[in-house]
Structure 1
Amino acid sequence: MGRFQVMTMTDAAADRVREIVEARDSAQGIRVGVKKGGCAGMEYTIDLVTEPKAADDHIEHEGSHVWVAPEAALFLLGTQMDFERTTLRTGFTFNNPNQSSACGCGESVELKPADLKALADARAAAEA
């Protein structure tokens, strides 16, 4: 069994990451993190990656590469990253089980660190 992935991404998210990388010569993928800010307490951050950092978690899906900042990993465990285009917004979305609330605009979220013991117990039960 491979290393546990912090998060997953949909085909739509992978397609968008590939588009971003193809539009910029030096980019290898994107880096997802979290920072304090916004009305609910935390915001997701997305940056271009030209040089991956050794400490980052690496996720690959259909040739798209996403790195997760170590300080964000606990907040993003079990998250599915998606990409949506609607009349109101276009961008990455995060279906995050660690999110306890969000502001009305959806730009800011309240996150709690993942419960590693509960995750380990669930994984052990699934493998039994």
Structure 2
Amino acid sequence: MLGTKYFAISKRILTLKSFKPLTLGGTTIITLRYNSTKPSTTTTNSNANSSRLKPSSFAFPSSPTSQQSSSTTTSTNDSITSSQQQEDINDFRATKLIHGKTNLSFAITERASKKLNEISQQDNQDSGLLIQVESGGCHGFQYNLKLTNIDKELQQQQDGDANDLVVFERDQGRKVIMNESSLMILQDSKLDYTKELIGIQFKIVDSPYTSSACGCGSSFDFDFDKLSQKEG
């Protein structure tokens, strides 16, 4: 058995050359023929790299982490909702009725107020926004917005050529005027200045009595039963 040694654990790497069983006295002995070589640099580097790839490096988030993430998302959503509610309160508090008599509320957002002020500086100091709700549109009703001279609108009312008008303003800015029948439908909603894909525009938002609306928001339907319940 020249050139044959029994297998033993060694610091050297075994390169398998042959495999030959040997039977002595009824006992089978497995022998290995090998060449002893020094570990190569490539093998050492591979082993070193493998040792750095720990299972924890690729572990999926555990259940507690998922719960924490969900809790964080819920907390963020609650914060946004709370912020929106506070903004709504501020909008209604800042909007004042300066002409007419009504118990109904309406709000002008800060964005809409600033834009109206910009327009008045470019146009004239008496300009304001007239809101009229009329029947029509794909959902039954539509509101028309147009710039107008507030003084002229109020003069027409005094001459008996106009319905009872109410005028709102925010922070002593430009005014919004409408008749009471329009306010009845738009009560508790807000005038906003929005930037959307369809363009930049003044828009009525957050109406609690609107049951449906078209994509552009200019045509809508409202819930008569819900409105009647509030009046009752």
- TM-score (norm: length of structure 2): 0.45
Is 1:80 aligned to 2:190, yes or no?
A: yes
Q: How does 1:1-128 map to 2 (within 5 A)?
A: 4=103, 6-25=105-124, 27-50=126-149, 51-53=152-154, 54=157, 55-62=164-171, 63-95=173-205, 96-112=207-223, 115=227, 118=230
Counterparts in 2 of 1:91 and 1:42: CA distance versus 1, 3 Å: same
RMSD: 2.4
- The number of aligned residues is 119
- Report the Cα distance in structure 2 between the residues aligned to 1:82 and 1:11, rounded to whole angstroms: 8
1:26 to partner: Cα distance: 6.4
**What is the percent sequence identity of the aligned residues?**
23
Q: Which has the larger radius of gyration?
A: 2
Which runs of 5 or more structure 2 residues have no equivalent in the other structure? 1-96, 158-163
Question: Aligned with 1:60: secondary structure?
Answer: strand
1:4 to partner: Cα distance: 3.8
Question: Aligned with 2:153: secondary structure?
Answer: coil
Which runs of 5 or more structure 1 residues have no equivalent in the other structure? 121-128
Whether the 8 Å CA contact 2:198–2:216 is kept in 1: the answer is no
- TM-score (norm: length of structure 1): 0.77
Higher RCO (CA 8 Å, separation ≥ 6 residues)? 1
Whether the 8 Å CA contact 1:59–1:65 is kept in 2: the answer is yes
